[in-house]
Structure 1
Amino acid sequence: MSLDDIPLPPGAAREGGPTTNWSALFHAYGTATDTAEVLAGPLEAAGDHLWSAILHQGSVWPATPPVLSSVAGRLAEAPLLGLRFVRDVASSVRFGDGAEELRAEVAAAPTREWTAAYVAADEDEQVDLWSDDDGTGDLVLAAAALDCWDLLPELVDPVAAFLDDPDERVRTCAWATVTRLLDHPAAAAAHGPHLLPRLTRAAGAAGSVEERAALVMDLGDLGGDPAAFLADPSPLVRCAAATTRPLADDPAAHAELLAAARTPTAFDALSDLPRFGGGPARWTLVAVLCDRVRDLSRLHEPALAALPHAFRLAPCPDLGPYLKAHFPTGLPEHPTPEQASLARELAARDDLWSPVNGNRRITLAQLGLPVDRETWWAVG
């Protein structure tokens, strides 16, 4: 294989069509020849390949740019799947002002030679290439990410075609996707001036609580003003508005976050929205609340409400932020009433102290907190 066979950047072959030389590209599991077969079939059947090989745990690969372009051109076949894939890729390549510096570093590295060696190697040799890598392999992946980044402005129009889809789920996903695409300065400059007012109107006219909440959060992501939605009849919409960046210092938004966090699973009614990636929406609520409100007298009741959900993952997104807020430097010798109360309530829950619960040990250790129950009893 010659270097001329390797489309880095994909350029004319990035549409993912018959001109793409898939044997000169690779994904998370090796050379991308199987990708051609997947794309030749129905898009709705490609999900496993897209989120395992092409976008692997949030990482993009040399095969990702032509696949991204191909999926964007086929959105009508499977709108929800296609829009989510475009959004997830866009979320993985958010460079901002750092793109040009990285581009110069990529241009100075032997990325084409490294890629040629990689796609020509067998599986064991490919492992060795990564093991012996001097950083060139990482720059190959960076080049792929930059190719995806450069594609984002071109994808706004195909995605925007679904903003008025009759299916609410498709509309919601399309707005979430276009919001991520507008992270690219060129996309924002070209499309932001007309999409932001359109999003504001759509949020005000949305019929369901779920769609309204989703659009309000998208509005905040685009720098719009979601303050009016703090008066929405739905507590879910009020809380959604309160999580947005423009309201980070708003006392009324803080009050909504605190009220919602006292019954955190209620916010999980929004968990199916694309922005939460399949995780419970309450994790976003907890993270935002603990980032913005530092007064333990106000955080304490929400922290106690999180205890029934603690240590199901590590690090624990339900309780971990509260523990960090209450005990930023470890367990204190002279605890405040809030610290003593949380320690006592944590120690009192038998369900959190199973000897086989590794999530508890990992979470506490990462926070610099003791992993034995007796120490927590002593504080409380």
Structure 2
Amino acid sequence: MSTDVAWERLFHAYGTATDTGTALAGPLAEAEDHLWSAILHQGSVWPATPPALRAVADRLAEAPALGLAFVRDVASAVRMGDAAEELRAEVAAADTAAWTAAYVAADEDDQVDMWDDETGDLVLAEAALACWDLLPELVGPVTAFLDDPDPGIRAGAWATTAELLAHPGAADRLPVFLPRLAGAAEAAVSVRERASLVLDLGRLGGDPAPFLTDPDPLVRCAAALTGPLADAPAAHEELLLAAVRPDALDPLAGIPGFGGHSPRQVLIATLTGRVPDFSRLYEPALAALPHAFRTAPCPDLGPYLRVAFPSGLPDDPTPEQQGLARELAARDELWDPANGNRRFTLGALGLPDDREAWRALSRVGTSRCRG
């Protein structure tokens, strides 16, 4: 129980963890901000994270959606696989207990200075290992929600279970859960739930191929995105069909299997990683232009540009390269001089941040053709 933890001897992202004990003493739903800011801070874990993780897992029934999401996010943050034992040896050779005691006793300025000592990094590694070691124990509490009447909670429970079963210490449970997961996906009435379960099935190494013929294109696309179908031509075709209408995946936003990322951007990253022929990617690339350069590096257009122009602008462009250059240069809204996202993205790809250069590429060979 959280009341048994000496929180004053631990710290989180903002300092000594005495406030964690207070936060977890009340309703779990009211601790949400503290959990995702102090305890799991921008994907980093702290000495206060392992006992907080255990406390949340003990209270899943109180706020299942929140608790499952927190367990899943911590599990994702500390995923380390075979690297765990090497890291464990480094931690064992350091006096992490003394460093932690000194840290919680220091004032804020001294705490900042203490991070110059590499022992601090090992203290955080020790916290990650403690969370990692706890994950197999959480399979039981989490799987209690796999048949919850709420489809959102069921999907969250399966996604969290998938994260936990990726741990080597839980791998022996896969033969039990994979058939159950496949059956749950087949039985799911909701397209959103079925797509979520198919993503989890593929992640755990199950067979998502039957879902490539699902009646709903969103489910077919979810199956096509999974690792087991990375080399399947039929999966490539589904991704290409989806990519020409990237907003069509918006109904899947927020599905746990996307890890907080935009489904559209996951689709683009997956497609461009599997299909190296830009002539096949040309239409999807044009469909990405309305979303271009909103962030940097641009996850919508950037992957297509990387495939289209792997060595900069070519001297002898293909029709598809010229077409993309023409359409890119034609969109006034993409060439705002203040758009740093465009400059950063193009620069990182070794491409010119010069509208006229793109216009010139689109015209290469036209004078020869007229002559």
2:44 counterpart of 1:59: yes
How many aligned positions are there?
A: 362
Q: Quick one: distance in 2 between partners of 1:247 and 1:360?
A: 33
Q: Residue 5 of structure 1 corresponds to which residue in structure 2?
A: none
Q: 2:154 aligns with which of 144, 162, 171?
A: 171
| Secondary structure of 1:328 counterpart | coil
Q: Quick one: distance in 2 between partners of 1:55 and 1:154?
A: 20
Runs of 4 or more off by more than 6 Å in structure 1?
none
Q: Quick one: distance in 2 between partners of 1:368 and 1:224?
A: 39
Contact 2:231 2:274 in 1 (8 A): yes
* Aligned pairs for 1:109-128 within 5 A: 109-128=94-113
1:277 deviates by 4.1
Q: Residue 139 of structure 1 corresponds to which residue in structure 2?
A: 122
Q: Quick one: distance in 2 between partners of 1:180 and 1:47?
A: 20
1:113 deviates by 2.0
2:6 counterpart of 1:18: no
Q: Matched residues, percent identical?
A: 71
Give the letter aligned to residue 360 of structure 1: R
Contact 2:199 2:257 in 1 (8 A): no
Q: 1:254 aligns with which of 229, 232, 236?
A: 236
Q: Residue 183 of structure 1 corresponds to which residue in structure 2?
A: 166
2:102 counterpart of 1:102: no
Q: Quick one: distance in 2 between partners of 1:223 and 1:237?
A: 17
Contact 2:200 2:257 in 1 (8 A): no
1:167 deviates by 0.2
Q: Residue 316 of structure 1 corresponds to which residue in structure 2?
A: 298
1:379 deviates by 1.7
Q: Residue 9 of structure 1 corresponds to which residue in structure 2?
A: none
Q: Quick one: distance in 1 between partners of 2:146 and 2:349?
A: 43
Q: Residue 155 of structure 1 corresponds to which residue in structure 2?
A: 138
* Aligned pairs for 1:337-376 within 5 A: 337-376=319-358
Q: Quick one: distance in 2 between partners of 1:25 and 1:331?
A: 54
Give the letter aligned to residue 133 of structure 2: D
1:139 deviates by 1.1
Q: Quick one: distance in 2 between partners of 1:43 and 1:81?
A: 8
Q: Residue 247 of structure 2 corresponds to which residue in structure 1?
A: 265
Q: Quick one: distance in 2 between partners of 1:33 and 1:333?
A: 64
Q: TM-score, normalised by structure 1?
A: 0.93
2:317 counterpart of 1:335: yes
Q: TM-score, normalised by structure 2?
A: 0.95
* Aligned pairs for 1:66-77 within 5 A: 66-77=51-62
User: Mean alpha-carbon deviation: is it higher for 368-377 or for 120-129?
Assistant: 368-377
Q: Residue 207 of structure 2 corresponds to which residue in structure 1?
A: 225
Give the letter aligned to residue 330 of structure 2: A
List gaps (5 residues or longer) in structure 1: 1-14
2:74 counterpart of 1:92: no
Contact 2:69 2:156 in 1 (8 A): yes
Q: Residue 176 of structure 2 corresponds to which residue in structure 1?
A: 194
List gaps (5 residues or longer) in structure 2: 363-371
Q: Deviations over 1:231-288 (max 9, x none)?
A: 0000000000000000000000000000000000101210121233444211110110
Give the letter aligned to residue 296 of structure 2: A
1:349 deviates by 0.5
Q: Quick one: distance in 2 between partners of 1:274 and 1:219?
A: 13
Q: Considering only aligned residues, what root-mean-square deviation do their CA atoms show, in Å?
A: 1.1
Q: Quick one: distance in 2 between partners of 1:109 and 1:346?
A: 54
Q: Deviations over 1:180-218 (max 9, x none)?
A: 0011111121x2111111001000000110010000010
User: Mean alpha-carbon deviation: is it higher for 279-288 or for 363-372?
Assistant: 363-372
Q: Quick one: distance in 1 between partners of 2:261 and 2:208?
A: 24
